[in-house]
């Protein structure tokens, strides 16, 4: 079992951060693991929505489908992998800090297969990756202010 928790404070309003981090098509912009991510079907995202994607971690290509299990704008979003090589539960919590936002990410999963024996190493590498990705997220969203967008 792999568990990773990370957080970052972003100097952007909670509604803006929420819109960005719950849009699956934006994930490749800030997550180094996600290569492609799309919402299946039409309509707005919500509980029961399915997100398909592919990515890469530790040199291994991963394809997965996740189902949105919680959708409570603008504070809580969660999804669970239901097929493919990724069996993660991902929870994102947002908290308003006046004009800024505290973004918390929690990942829990079964690494399975070849990674199972190396859970502590996988968790450490995943933690480092998530921490870096959250700094990328912060930089991207805060750069929009500097650029005037």
The contacts of residue 113 (CB under 8 Å, 6+ apart) are: 85
Output the DSSP codes for 38-82.
EE-SSS---TT-EEEEEEEETTEEEEEEEEEEEEETTTEEEEEEE
CB 10 within 8 A of CB 103: yes
- 34-61: pLDDT as tens digits: 999 999 998 799 999 999 999 887 777 8
pLDDT score recorded for residue 59: 79
Check pLDDT > 60 for residue 149.
Answer: no
Band (19; pLDDT cuts 50, 70, 90): very high
- 64-83: pLDDT as tens digits: 899 999 999 999 999 999 98
Task: Tell me which architecture the domain covering 2-147 has in CATH.
Answer: 2-Layer Sandwich (3.30)
Band (145; pLDDT cuts 50, 70, 90): low
């Amino acid at each position: 079992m792999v568990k990773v928790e990370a957080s970052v404070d972003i100097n952007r309003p909670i509604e803006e951060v929420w819109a960005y981090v719950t849009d699956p098509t934006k994930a490749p912009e800030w997550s180094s693991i996600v290569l492609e991510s799309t919402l299946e079907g039409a309509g707005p995202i919500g509980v029961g929505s399915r997100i398909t994607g592919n990515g890469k971690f530790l040199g291994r290509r991963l394809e997965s489908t996740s189902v949105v299990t919680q959708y409570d704008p603008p504070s809580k979003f969660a999804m669970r992998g239901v097929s493919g090589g990724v069996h993660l539960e991902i929870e994102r919590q947002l908290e308003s800090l006046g004009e800024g936002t505290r973004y918390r990410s929690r990942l829990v999963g079964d690494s399975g297969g070849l990674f199972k024996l190396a859970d502590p190493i996988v968790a450490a590498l995943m933690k480092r990756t998530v921490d870096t990705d959250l700094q990328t997220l912060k930089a991207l969203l805060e750069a929009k202010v500097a650029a005037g967008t």
